[in-house]
Structure 1
Amino acid sequence: MRKFHLLSVFLLLTACHSFAQAIAGFVVKSGTFPRHNSIVYTALPPSAGNAPVSLEEITGGKRIPVAVNVYKGQLCWILSGNTPAGAERTYELKKGVPVTNPRMKTALHNGSLVLEEHNDPILQYNFKTVAAPSGADTVYSRSAFIHPLWAPNGVVLTNIFPNAGHLHHMGVWNPWTHTLFEGRETDFWNVQKKEGKVRFNGNLETLSGNVWCGFSAGQDHVAFLKDGTEKTAIRETWLIQAYPATNEGARRQWDFTTTFAATTPNGITLLQYRYGGGFGLRTTAAFTAQTSQVITSEGKTRKDADSTRARWVKISGTTTHGKAGMLIMNYPDNFDSPEPLRVWPENMEGGELMFNYTPTRMKPWQLYPGARYQLKYRVMVYNDDIINEEAEAAWQEYAHPPEVRVI
């Protein structure tokens, strides 16, 4: 039986009493460019121990309570509002009382996990196997993917089992396509080849709080061997963290981190190939060549973005339920960053769109036994559209977060 571990993480919004014990102070520096609702991370001081904590901003002679999350030795809060370039803001961490009704929540629903802000859905992770469409080969049945992904206005941005030719496309997912595992080329993406697939492995931790909600999920890249047996080639952990909506509810960001390792003595080679791994996305069928637009940080569009590199990619489109989109940002420390892209040409599948950040498009990546590897992305979902300058500012914010100094 699978075991699910619910970790209550909360996080802590409370007015600190005058007698509460101060643990540490922090100065947050905006740096060389202005900040807007920045996401701040710093290490939890060892002196905090396991005690619940609260945070206050000290400004204008006042102490203002600030929501804070604590997870695996990291503090997280929002540098709320606008902070000019070169500015500093001061905070004090104290022992405090946890909030019992967090703003950002996780909810289990019959084989899936939904992240919510109040009662507004953000995204759904499917840990239970979702059956293939009626009449299709059961090999297409799949777990370990995100769908639906909602824009703040409720538009669904993703699609699964889209059509007969690409039933293996599953919302947001990231299997490796062209690999060399134990002397055999193995494809974990094109499941119809019956060489391998990705599965949820039973490890799930849910996280709720006032700054972010999310989950940690274990997934296995399973190879189907010639003798009819199976072997796990790669074990990965997804960490998904969703933050509160901003800009009067019109923007929301969430972080996607995958940490993975080879599981056998000889490791695995992720061979050079035009797509696979990284961040895979099949958008809603409503996004076609006529109804959607793609623009990259380098000014490329759907006509010429394929096989180019980009710090960020913006995908916007119109549906019967409104206009919305997403900005997918590539972290600078990722393998071969800024990562190359796979973007379907406009004549694919009636103009529908598949997008993939492809770390191994230009060169192979050897995963050695005993080593851990990581890829990170941030996604902004939005109502209507955003201009390129906002997209670039969001990437700069992600790539160069505010500096935190302990005082």
Structure 2
Amino acid sequence: MKKNTLSATFFLMLLIGFFSQSFAQKKYEIHVSAGAFDRSETVVSFYFPDSVEPGVYHLVSSSGDRPILQVDDSNRGWFMLHKLASGESREYELTATPIKSENHVSNKIDSTQITFLSNGRRVLSYYHGDNNPTELDERYKRGGYIHPVYSPNGTVLTAHLNPLHPHQSGIWSAWTKTEFEGRTPDFWNIHNNTGRVDQADSLRDAWKGPVHAGFHNRHFFKDLSAPDPVITVNEEWNLYVYRAPEDHSYQIFDIVSTQSVNTGKPLILPEYHYGGIGFRGNRQWDDPENTTFLTSDGLGREGNTTRPKWTHVGGVVDGELAGITVMDHPENFRYPQPVRIHPEEPYFVYAPMQLGEMRIEPGSPYSTRYRYVTYDGMPDPEKLTRLWNDYAYPPGVTVKVK
């Protein structure tokens, strides 16, 4: 028995040694094509054709460009493409040997919030625990939303627990007009006591890295209009916060939301003018004279119900001008999605149900993705369009094992 155990152990050690040596010697050729757009500080991602150990690596090109590659636990590689002109391409080589690197995008976690920083500057915080609504009643005690969001220079762009509209908290997810099992819960206006959205539990997963940091977390949509509260929708948020460019002219983060009904019944979303992943601006923007909207089509507040690629909202906070742009992705349902731009208040949401009834059916999750760009000063439409092109039509990547 002892001899068999030793033989098995020896064989396992040989096998591990073989695969470790094979992995260490494996090289990849990564071909990146700019496509139709000039690229500058562009987020690039791709999947490897076989298993690569999660970690940090160097990419090397003949031009001398050596970007840092971050490989996650989904076998996906990420790096920042410094510059590549439209129509051009570049080849990188990767030897699959991990390196040590500074976490340019980091996080700090306390009992209620996780805060992300890019090169030492705060980007946003997310409530993974409950807030503290000292000026309001217990209905507004909740988590599962983002606040504050910061400009690169540290101006706070969002509001929460605003006594005028305390149900609109930073960046949050909720449906307004719904039908479920014959009832009509409203998850947006929680003061109506028919529905609400809460974080499901503590953070499922959070990470930091040289290219991006982020988290995976879940929310529950609770129907309070039932005889006993019912969870109608399970939502998962995947948040990605990216390394800012060297000049700190903007900061970028993505939200990917996936919603699945929790029972064998669909959640019906009748035609309505708002609902989805909302944004509420700083309290100082409650003054409509201190707030501007701008869509990719050049419209202001009159852009309500139009279908822009991106929408800016901004204004002055404590004497500093700053703003944020929310970008729609071509893979989203009913893209380009219509928008709700309030005629006086600083809130905004992409609202695809403006075009007619929607349904989240059992076994068919509803997924959306949006990119957020923050900056100081006036919005630069040319730069925002370039960043949207990077998001909507990223560089092409092919990977070969050498």
Above 0.5 in TM-score? yes
Secondary structure of the corresponding residue to residue 59 of structure 2: strand
Name the structure 2 match of 1:349: none
Which whole-Å CA distance do the structure 2 matches of 1:388 and 1:114 have between them? Answer: 29
Superposed CA offset, 1:99-121 (max 9, x none): 36422112112211111124321
* Aligned residue among 367, 389, 392 for 1:396: 389
- Compute the RMSD of aligned alpha carbons: 1.8
Which whole-Å CA distance do the structure 2 matches of 1:380 and 1:246 have between them? Answer: 12
Aligned AA (1:70): D
Secondary structure of the corresponding residue to residue 361 of structure 1: helix
Name the structure 1 match of 2:346: 353
Name the structure 2 match of 1:219: 219
Name the structure 2 match of 1:368: 361
What's the offset of the Cα at 1:20?
Answer: 5.3
What's the offset of the Cα at 1:339?
Answer: 1.0
1:406 aligns with 2:399: yes
Native 8 Å contact 1:53 1:95 kept in 2: no
Secondary structure of the corresponding residue to residue 35 of structure 2: coil
Aligned AA (1:388): P
TM-score, normalised to structure 1's length?
A: 0.88
What's the offset of the Cα at 1:259?
Answer: 0.9
What's the offset of the Cα at 1:382?
Answer: 0.8
Name the structure 2 match of 1:324: 322
Name the structure 1 match of 2:14: none
* Aligned residue among 382, 385, 389 for 2:378: 385
Native 8 Å contact 1:24 1:45 kept in 2: no
* Aligned residue among 34, 41, 61 for 2:38: 34
Aligned AA (1:68): Q
What's the offset of the Cα at 1:21?
Answer: 2.1
Residues 344 and 52 of structure 1, relative CA distance in 2, 3 Å threshold: closer
**Please, which runs of 5 or more residues in structure 1 have no aligned partner?**
1-18, 347-351
Residues 396 and 183 of structure 1, relative CA distance in 2, 3 Å threshold: same
Name the structure 2 match of 1:3: none
What's the offset of the Cα at 1:131?
Answer: 3.0
Superposed CA offset, 1:44-92 (max 9, x none): 23143x36452312123x4735242424121111111x21111111112
Superposed CA offset, 1:347-406 (max 9, x none): xxxxx4111111212212111112222100001111212321222111111110000012
Name the structure 1 match of 2:86: 85
Which whole-Å CA distance do the structure 2 matches of 1:109 and 1:47 have between them? Answer: 34
Aligned AA (1:326): I
Name the structure 2 match of 1:9: none
Name the structure 2 match of 1:251: 250
What's the offset of the Cα at 1:203?
Answer: 4.9
Name the structure 2 match of 1:294: 293
Secondary structure of the corresponding residue to residue 179 of structure 1: coil
Which whole-Å CA distance do the structure 2 matches of 1:316 and 1:114 have between them? Answer: 22
Residues 100 and 59 of structure 1, relative CA distance in 2, 3 Å threshold: closer
Name the structure 1 match of 2:142: 142
**Please, which runs of 5 or more residues in structure 2 have no aligned partner?**
1-22
Secondary structure of the corresponding residue to residue 191 of structure 2: helix
Native 8 Å contact 1:57 1:66 kept in 2: no
Superposed CA offset, 1:224-265 (max 9, x none): 1442x2111000111110111115111111111101111111
Aligned AA (1:72): S
Native 8 Å contact 1:69 1:77 kept in 2: no
Identity across aligned pairs (percent)? 28
Native 8 Å contact 1:152 1:381 kept in 2: yes
Which whole-Å CA distance do the structure 2 matches of 1:196 and 1:46 have between them? Answer: 45
Moved beyond 3 Å, runs of 4+ = 50-53
Name the structure 2 match of 1:7: none
Name the structure 2 match of 1:127: 128
Which whole-Å CA distance do the structure 1 matches of 2:178 and 2:99 have between them? Answer: 47
Native 8 Å contact 1:131 1:138 kept in 2: no
Secondary structure of the corresponding residue to residue 385 of structure 2: helix
* Count of residues in Structure 1 that have an aligned counterpart in Structure 2: 376
Residues 39 and 339 of structure 1, relative CA distance in 2, 3 Å threshold: same
Which whole-Å CA distance do the structure 1 matches of 2:142 and 2:236 have between them? Answer: 17
Superposed CA offset, 1:161-211 (max 9, x none): 2124x1111000110111111111110000011111001011521011100
Secondary structure of the corresponding residue to residue 379 of structure 1: strand
Which has more radius of gyration? 2
Native 8 Å contact 2:296 2:309 kept in 1: yes
Q: How does 1:87-126 map to 2 (within 5 A)?
A: 87-99=88-100, 101-126=102-127
* Aligned residue among 315, 336, 339 for 1:338: 336
Native 8 Å contact 2:296 2:308 kept in 1: yes
What's the offset of the Cα at 1:40?
Answer: 0.5
Secondary structure of the corresponding residue to residue 158 of structure 2: coil
1:57 aligns with 2:60: yes
Secondary structure of the corresponding residue to residue 383 of structure 2: helix
Secondary structure of the corresponding residue to residue 180 of structure 1: coil
Native 8 Å contact 2:48 2:399 kept in 1: no
Residues 307 and 221 of structure 1, relative CA distance in 2, 3 Å threshold: same
Secondary structure of the corresponding residue to residue 93 of structure 2: strand
Residues 51 and 183 of structure 1, relative CA distance in 2, 3 Å threshold: closer
Residues 63 and 194 of structure 1, relative CA distance in 2, 3 Å threshold: closer
Native 8 Å contact 1:314 1:391 kept in 2: no
Secondary structure of the corresponding residue to residue 336 of structure 1: coil
Native 8 Å contact 1:126 1:146 kept in 2: yes
Which whole-Å CA distance do the structure 2 matches of 1:273 and 1:83 have between them? Answer: 43
Which whole-Å CA distance do the structure 1 matches of 2:97 and 2:195 have between them? Answer: 49
Which whole-Å CA distance do the structure 2 matches of 1:63 and 1:307 have between them? Answer: 44
